[in-house]
């Protein structure tokens, strides 16, 4: 698809069924809707509400030559690079967080003679506006951000003079991902999704994408959704596949349910410091390729630690 091609994006959307049927399926069936060469947009932000169960299933199935986009990319970006499944990464930032330093694999790729992965830089807001333009079904949005910076030369952006005021603007083109991956707190069988806490960019990511795959911590009755419809961030007609996956974002976090496991990140990064990026491949062997289901995966973690993270999450949303 040409950059910002809203006409083609709309044609593709109009080919898909919007029927309000039950969307419930398995992780494996859902992930099969991702094809080689797809642009996969990832919901959540950093290590919060990341659709990790879906991402891990895609790694197990082996789809390749993917483009991965996410506002701030966490270690899931490193996994797809280490497993050689991505061609391009579109993000404003990649790493785990300040205390864990710069991503080793990001550095090795960019600093090598022939980088295997194309890394598309832009600002956090610019990426948000690219999803927003896609969600709006238009080719671009004007903004002031990135003006004057060197991102104007390397990011997907064009300068323009405002036809009304004569001021300078930057135009960021719409993104129309092939597939959106979203993790939410609850959904009904028809795919009406509710998330607690931060909405992040998930509603825009879903609306901009041709196909939408969702994991929910819990499948609830229609009545639960209808009782608080203002909490719904994605309507069922957008959703193509829905899977119930408790702890579907772990060891990343899910608002009010479980906190991110910093200790797990420490261990992951320590292994990379000690053994280089080969440690990422060993990690994938243990946590992704070495397990068959999300239940098996969760069994690799210490139950007491999980309980601690669940309790902290509850404490953080409590208002005395």
138 binds other proteins (CB under 8 A): no
In a 3-state reduction of DSSP, which class is residue 183?
Answer: strand
Residue 40 or 135: which CB sits closer to other proteins?
Answer: 135
In a 3-state reduction of DSSP, which class is residue 217?
Answer: strand
97 binds other proteins (CB under 8 A): yes
Q: How far is the CB of 217 from other proteins (least distance, A)?
A: 14
Residues within window 166-205 making contact with other proteins, judged by CB under 8 A? 167-170, 197-201, 203-204
Distance between CA atoms of 258 and 70, rounded to whole angstroms? 22
142 binds other proteins (CB under 8 A): no
Closest CA to 308 of 261, 266, 273, 265: 261
232 binds other proteins (CB under 8 A): no
- For CA atoms 85, 59, 207, 205, the dihedral sign is negative
**H/E element, 87:** strand 86-91
- The DSSP letter of residue 107 is H
Q: What strands, in cross-sheet order, belong to the sheet with 168-173?
A: 140-143, 168-173, 158-161
Q: How far is the CB of 154 from other proteins (least distance, A)?
A: 6
46 binds other proteins (CB under 8 A): yes
Residues within window 102-121 making contact with other proteins, judged by CB under 8 A? 102-103, 106-107, 109-111, 121
Closest CA to 300 of 278, 312, 277, 284: 284
Single residue of 1, 138, 154, 282 touching other proteins by CB under 8 A: 154
Where on the chain is the footprint of other proteins (CB under 8 A)? 45-48, 71-72, 91-95, 97-99, 102-103, 106-107, 109-111, 121-126, 128-129, 131-132, 143-151, 154, 159, 167-170, 197-201, 203-204, 253, 255-256, 259-260, 262, 312-313, 315-317, 319
């Amino acid at each position: 698809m040409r950059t910002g091609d809203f006409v083609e994006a709309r044609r593709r959307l109009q080919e898909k069924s919007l029927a309000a049927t039950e969307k419930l399926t398995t992780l494996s069936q859902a992930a099969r809707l991702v094809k080689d060469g797809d642009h996969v947009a990832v919901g959540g932000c950093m290590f919060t509400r990341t659709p990790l169960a879906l991402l891990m299933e895609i790694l197990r199935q082996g789809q390749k030559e993917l483009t991965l986009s996410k506002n701030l990319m966490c270690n899931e970006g490193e996994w797809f690079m280490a497993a050689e499944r991505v061609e391009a990464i579109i993000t404003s930032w990649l790493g785990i967080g300040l205390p864990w330093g710069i991503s080793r694999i990001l550095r090795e790729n960019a600093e090598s003679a022939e980088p295997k992965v194309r890394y598309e830089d832009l600002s956090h807001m610019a990426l948000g506006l690219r999803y927003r333009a896609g969600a709006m079904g238009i080719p671009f949005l004007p903004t002031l951000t990135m003006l004057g910076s060197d991102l104007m030369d390397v990011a997907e952006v064009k300068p323009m003079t405002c036809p009304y005021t004569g001021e300078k603007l930057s135009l960021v083109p719409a993104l129309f991902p092939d597939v959106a991956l979203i993790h939410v707190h609850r959904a009904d069988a028809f795919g009406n999704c509710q998330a607690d806490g931060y909405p992040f960019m998930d509603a825009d990511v879903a609306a901009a994408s041709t196909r939408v795959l969702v994991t929910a911590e819990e499948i609830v009755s229609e009545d639960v959704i209808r009782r608080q419809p203002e909490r719904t961030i994605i309507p069922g007609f957008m959703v193509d596949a829905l899977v119930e996956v408790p702890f579907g974002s772990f060891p990343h976090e899910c608002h009010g349910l479980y906190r991110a496991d910093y200790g797990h990140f420490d261990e992951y990064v320590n292994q990379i410091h000690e053994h280089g990026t080969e440690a990422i491949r060993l990690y994938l062997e243990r946590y992704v390729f070495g397990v068959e289901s999300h239940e098996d995966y969760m069994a690799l973690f210490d139950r007491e630690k999980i309980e601690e993270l669940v309790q902290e999450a509850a404490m953080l949303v409590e208002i005395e």
